[in-house]
């Protein structure tokens, strides 16, 4: 079976959809996980209009059971995963001392723990696979007003490095794209440019972390 399968956890209109489109144009079949069935149908149709085979699977990243069930359904559908992109983050706005601790933990579960759950679910069904994690500049330069999101991005960066150490001897590449800017169309930080960067990471598989910044 020569077809390649991309799984995107956290399907959305920006980075996820553009990355789906990029990999799809390179011959991948695309599977998308999101809470919203309505959104999944919309993305499926958009991608199919571009000639890309895409299928949505409803799943809630904040629930371990729901996420595992969704990924299991993807694996039962395709038999394997070649590339996983985890593109989910949650961050309640507010300075550190204003944060509700339960909310901080909930944000961390979505930003980081969900990534680890996803990785653990796909590893047994990967051969020389690729795991891509969406990072952010807040991991390197925290901003007090976005403390929760910054902690999540620091966590995903840290997780990427430790996963890389563990999984690279097993033939699985793990990389994080640290986006040092706000995603905005018509700029260097357009979702299309970011999608192209993710595809380059998949092709090259050299660095654990690529800093995506305007020179």
Angle between helices 15-25 and 37-49 (to 10 degrees): 40
In this prediction, the residues of the chain whose per-residue pLDDT falls under 50 are 1
Six-digit token string for 179: 């986006």
Q: How many CA atoms lie within 13 A of 102 on its CB side?
A: 0
pLDDT digits (tens, 9 = 90+) for 109-139: 999 999 999 999 999 999 999 999 999 999 9
pLDDT at residue number 7: 98
- Residue of 11, 32, 18 lying closest to 190 (CA atoms): 18
Rounded to an integer, what distance in angstroms lies between the CA atom of residue 169 and that of residue 184? 37
pLDDT at residue number 215: 78
pLDDT digits (tens, 9 = 90+) for 94-114: 999 999 999 999 999 999 999
pLDDT at residue number 2: 66
pLDDT at residue number 72: 98
């Amino acid at each position: 079976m020569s077809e390649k399968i991309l799984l995107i956890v956290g399907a959305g209109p920006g980075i996820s959809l553009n990355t789906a489109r990029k990999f799809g144009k390179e011959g991948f079949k695309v599977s998308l996980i999101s809470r919203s069935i309505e959104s999944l149908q919309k993305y499926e149709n958009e991608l199919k209009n571009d000639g890309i085979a895409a299928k949505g699977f409803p799943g809630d990243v904040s629930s371990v059971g729901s996420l595992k069930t969704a990924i299991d359904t993807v694996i039962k559908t395709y038999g394997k995963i070649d590339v996983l992109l985890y593109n989910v983050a949650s961050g309640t706005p507010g300075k550190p001392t204003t944060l509700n601790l339960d909310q901080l933990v909930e944000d961390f579960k979505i930003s980081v723990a969900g990534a680890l759950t996803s990785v653990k679910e796909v590893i047994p069904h990967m051969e020389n696979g690729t795991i891509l994690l969406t990072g952010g500049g807040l991991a390197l330069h925290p901003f007090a007003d976005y403390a929760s999101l910054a902690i999540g991005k620091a966590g995903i960066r840290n997780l990427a490095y430790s996963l890389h150490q563990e999984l690279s001897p097993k033939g699985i590449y793990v990389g994080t794209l640290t986006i040092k800017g706000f995603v905005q169309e018509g700029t260097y930080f357009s979702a299309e440019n970011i999608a192209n960067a993710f595809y380059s990471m998949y092709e090259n598989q050299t660095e654990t972390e690529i800093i995506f910044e305007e020179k």
